[in-house]
Structures are given as C-alpha cells and as structure tokens.
Amino acid sequence: MPWSRSLRILLLTLITAPLAAARPLPHEVWIGTAIAVNGGAMRGDLEMFADKAPNTTFVEMAQRNDTPGAVRMWRVRHGTCAKPGTVFGDSTAYPIIRIGKDGEGVGTVTLRLALPDTGGFHVTVAASPRESRRVACGDLVLED
C-alpha cells in the first residue's frame, strides 16, 4: 500500500529533525572598520565573535596607518557612530593599543558576555587614555 504524500513528509520530518537540532548554529561575526574622523588614513579593523568559553565574546581591534608611538583607547559600544550608546561589556576590560613604529597595533579582549545576535554596535578609538576625544569610529555589521 503506497504511503500518502502527507505521511511521507511527516516521517521525513520526524527522522531528520534530530539531525537538524544537533547542527551547531551558524558562525556569527560582527565586523567593522573604524575610520579617522578627520579624513586621515588611520583605520582600525574589528572582529567580534563568540569565544570558546560559554557566554564570552572575543574582540580584536587591529589599528593600521596610525601615528607611530600613539597609545589608543578603544571600546565597542551599543548604537552607531551617529547615535552612540553605552559601552558593550566592562569598559575597564579593553586594553590600550600601543602603535608601533610601523603605524600598527592590536588590542584583544575577552568579555564576559554572550555574543549578541541582534542590535546595533560600533567601535570608537580615542586619542589616548587621557584624552577621550574620538579620533576614529566605525559601525559594526553582523556577518553570518
């Protein structure tokens, strides 16, 4: 006796549902580029993704074409460059970035927060730890 189309679809769904549930979620990464507010060549490339430990987020900021010897303070924030919000995570967790002779520097941090999969975020770069004047900013986008 041939099975009805509806019954075949139901059986197929019941058989494959556990397989689909066992698949990991897609790899999500927030990315963005902080661009100098004065139109200069300085750039900061940022990636933010779920770290290995549960409910943690790894963030890496790589500065380039920056002033050799500069010391930069940076933060990921809620909102956008045009409409900034609060710092994402503990503001004291973000290390300073020391710019080398080649105009490059990298800062990394692991935040004790789960990676968000919605919302708006941006990265800001300040002139120095003592001078909070924003020298670069970039909105983040979610890559799946």
In a domain, 14, yes or no: no
Please, are residues 116 and 56 in contact by the beta-carbon 8 Å criterion?
Answer: no
In a domain, 21, yes or no: no
**42 domain residue, yes or no:** yes
- Residue 64 domain-assigned (yes or no): yes
The reply to whether 3 falls in a domain is no
**Can you give the residue range of the structural domain that contains 70?**
29-143
Average pLDDT, the chain: 87
Residue 80 lies in a domain: yes
Average pLDDT in the 62-76 region? 98
Convert the pLDDT of each residue in 84-112 to its tens digit. Answer: 999 999 999 999 999 999 999 999 999 99
Residue 82 sits in a domain whose CATH number is 2.60.40.200
Contact 121, 30 (CB under 8 A): yes
Cα–Cα–Cα angle for 82, 84, 90, nearest 5°?
150
Phi, psi of 33 (to 5 degrees): -130, 120
Per-residue DSSP letter, 69? T
To which residue do tokens 């902080």 refer? 34
Is there a domain that residue 133 lies in? yes
Q: What share of the chain is helix, strand, coil (3-state, %, to 5)?
A: 15, 45, 40
pLDDT of residue 17: 44
Is the Cβ–Cβ distance between 71 and 132 less than 8 Å? no
What pLDDT band is residue 144 in, cutting at 50, 70 and 90?
A: confident
Q: Which amino acid is at 80?
A: T
Are 78 and 91 spatial neighbours (Cβ–Cβ below 8 Å)?
Answer: no
CA dihedral 47, 84, 109, 116 (to 10 degrees): -60
Which pLDDT score is estimated for 133?
95
How many domains does the structure of the chain reveal? 1
Where residue 27 falls among pLDDT bands split at 50, 70, 90? Answer: low
Is 84 part of a structural domain of the chain? Answer: yes
